[in-house]
Amino acid sequence: MEDSKRKKIIKKVATIFIVVLLLLTFFSNTIMNYSLPEVATEPVTSGTVSNKVRGQGVVETNSENEVTVSGTRKIKEVKVAVGDEVKAGDVLFTFEDGENSELDEAEKNLENLELSYAKSLLKLGPDYTEDNIGIKDAKKDLQDAIDAQEKAAKNDKALKAAKKDLDKTKSDIEAAQTKVNELQSKADAFAEIGDYDTISSQLAEDEKALKRLKEDLAIAKENGEDTLQLDRDIEDKQASIDKDKKLLESLKSSKSVNDELKTAKANLETLTKTQETQETKVTELSAAGTLDDAKTAVKEKKKTLETLVRALDKRKEEDALNAKSEAMDNEAAVKEIDDQKEKVNQLKKSDDLKEVKASEDGIISEIVVKEGDTATPEAPLARIQLKDSGYIVKVNITKAQSKLIRVGDEATIENIWDDSVSATVKNIRVDTENPNQNMIVTFEVKGDVQVGQTLAFAVGEKNNRYDAVVPNNAVKEDSKGKFVLVLKVKGTPLGNRYTVKRADIEVQASDDTSSGVTGGVYEYDDVITNSSKPLENGMQVRLVQ
């Protein structure tokens, strides 16, 4: 029984706890939602926007005149103030008495110019004597080289012929030596046989002895004596005589061989002397230099001559150009001297200038100096906007907007209701201070306006269609550029949660209510047009009830 009661009590406590938890969760979300910034949104649509470019600027005259002074002078009194309207001839500034430093400087410059011109006329003309001497010597050297080449050609021909003769003589000497050797061998062989005269004498004695033996044989036969020994002696003597006759017959050829040997030796000696003479000639001709060397020398001398001639021609061309340049410089110097003389004369005429006057009607737009300052020719004293030159207004626009207008377009002046005042686009140029982003449009204004008056312009009426059109009050701008805040929705168990997301954009065109844009925003996105508090990227918000 007690356990059952205990369970019921625990169940009731748990139920109460859950209910309280749910109530606390609900009320905490509700409290937090009421603390969030409240925003209003409009959807992004596609549609057309009138390409009307708007801007404003200050009226100024179409041209400006700088007030300057010749020479260096000290300001005594400033007679006008900024905004004063002046007429031509009105005195603007007065000067204290003093020297005109500009006149002194101008006279010194004139003297220096005249001195420089006089010096330029004293320059000597170009002298080509050394160049011509060098070319003349080079021509002689070339001719000598050509003569040497011709001589070398003849020498080369003679050398070839001498070498050919020497080779033939050497060949003849070899043949003659061979013949001498052969004859010497024969002569030596004959010398071993014996002497011709000795053998001839012995033959004569043997023939006499044979005759005596035959006589003795005849007597012996008559006397009946034994003739056997005499017959043998006669046979032996006859054999000796026959032998000597054969030897003498052989020795007759030996004499012819000796004569031939003597002649062959004489011929060999002559050929040897001829060889010595020919070798001397070849040596002398070889020492005279080769034809190839002579040809190389001709090429080098010819190249040297051509180089000298080209250098002289180039120098003459450069001197001719320099002469023309100097003539032009002299002509310019004469003109500069004349101009400087004119400047000096003008400065002398204005040397007693005590004041500066306005040259045309206009309005003083700026005064650069004050009393006691020193005026110089390089710096203006004041600036005058010329009254009769018309009026202009300069307006800064973006590069995208500049594409929507062109020179000659008529503009509407939105803060003047006088139909006599009109404006036209005069020119469109790049803004030098921000060339990547901005352009400057100059409007030419006609009618009753005042310098310094602010005018608001609208120009361009053509309608274009854009994929993303947003209300003008949704477009924001900071240092990073233009942007819109897009509302992002995320579902949760307790309902939708809304956050803000920044989307950078570029405005292509705008009319009175909407702008056609490109960038991080698309059709059907919801952009924030109003907020109860300042918003930041990623911040949670709630919608207007």
DSSP state of 125: P
Q: Which positions ≥6 away from 361 have C-beta within 8 Å?
A: 85, 86, 87, 88, 386, 387, 388
What DSSP character marks residue 88? T
Q: What is the largest CA-CA distance in the chain?
A: 223
Give strand ranges (E) for 72-214: 73-78, 85-86, 91-95
331-336: long-range pairs with CB below 8 Å, 24+: 333/113, 333/116, 333/117, 333/120, 334/117, 336/113
* Residues 185, 190, 191: CA angle, nearest 5 degrees: 95
**Interior CA angle at 270 toward 267 and 273, to 5°?**
150
HSE value, Cβ hemisphere, 13 Å, CA-based, for 337: 14
Per-residue pLDDT of the chain (545 residues; tens, 9 = 90+): 566 767 777 777 777 777 666 655 554 555 556 678 999 999 999 988 776 788 889 888 777 777 887 667 778 888 888 888 888 888 888 877 665 666 677 778 888 888 887 877 777 678 888 888 988 998 888 898 788 788 878 888 887 888 898 899 888 889 888 888 887 877 676 666 556 667 678 778 878 888 888 888 888 888 888 888 878 888 887 887 887 777 666 666 666 777 777 888 888 899 889 988 988 888 887 777 777 888 888 899 889 989 989 988 898 888 888 878 777 887 888 888 888 788 777 666 655 567 888 878 888 878 888 888 887 766 788 888 776 667 888 899 888 778 778 888 888 887 887 778 888 888 888 887 888 888 889 988 888 888 788 988 888 766 778 899 999 999 999 999 999 999 999 887 767 899 999 999 998 877 778 888 999 899 999 999 999 889 989 899 998 86
Q: Is 312 helix (H, G, I), strand (E, B) or coil?
A: helix
**Residue 440 and residue 393 in contact, taking contact as beta carbons nearer than 8 Å:** no
**Is 501 in a helix, a strand, or coil?**
strand
The 8-class DSSP code of residue 454 comes to E
Tokens standing for residue 445? 């204004």
Amino acid symbol at 32: M
**Distant-in-sequence, close-in-space partners of 45: CB < 8 Å, separation ≥ 6:** 469, 523
Q: 3-state SS of 354-384?
A: CEEECCCCEEEEEECCCCCCEECCCCCCEEE
- Residues near 495 by Cβ (< 8 Å), separated by ≥ 6? 29
- Which residue type does 204 have? A
DSSP 93-138: EEE-S---HHHHHHHHHHHHHHHHHHHHHTPPPP--HHHHHHHHHH
CB of 436 closer than 8 Å to CB of 458:
no
Rounded Cα–Cα distance for residues 241 and 234 (Å): 10
Q: Strands, E, within 328-480: which ranges?
A: 355-357, 362-367, 374-375, 382-386, 391-398, 410-413, 422-430, 438-446, 454-459, 463-471, 476-478
Q: State how far the Cα of 79 lies from the Cα of 25, in Å rounded to an integer.
A: 82
Return the axis-axis angle of helices 291-349 and 129-193, rounded to nearest 10°: 170
Residue 194 to residue 115: CA distance in whole angstroms: 123
Enumerate the H helices of 453-493 as residue ranges. Answer: none
Q: Count each helix (H run) and each strand (E run) in the chain, helices first.
A: 7, 23
pLDDT of 415: 84
- Whether 496 and 33 have beta carbons less than 8 Å apart is answered as no
Q: What integer pLDDT is reported at residue 325 of this predicted model?
A: 77
pTM of the model: 0.34
Reference 305, options 132, 458, 443, 164; nearest CA is: 132
Please, are residues 297 and 145 in contact by the beta-carbon 8 Å criterion? Answer: yes
Q: What's the Cα-to-Cα distance from 64 to each of 90, 446, 447, rounded to whole Å?
A: 17, 17, 19
Please identify which residue in the block is written with the tokens 């010595």.
276
Separation CA 91–CA 79 (nearest Å): 7
The token pair at 263 is 């002649």
Q: How far apart are CA 496 and CA 498, in angstroms?
A: 7
Find out whether 482 and 431 touch, Cβ atoms under 8 Å.
no
DSSP secondary structure string, 209-264?
HHHHHHHHHHHHHHHT---HHHHHHHHHHHHHHHHHHHHHHHHHHHHHHHHHHHHH
Name the nearest CA neighbour of 227 among 297, 235, 38.
235
Q: CA dist 365 to 85, 304, 396, Å?
A: 10, 75, 22
d(CA 148, CA 169): 30
Both structure tokens of 149: 């080449």
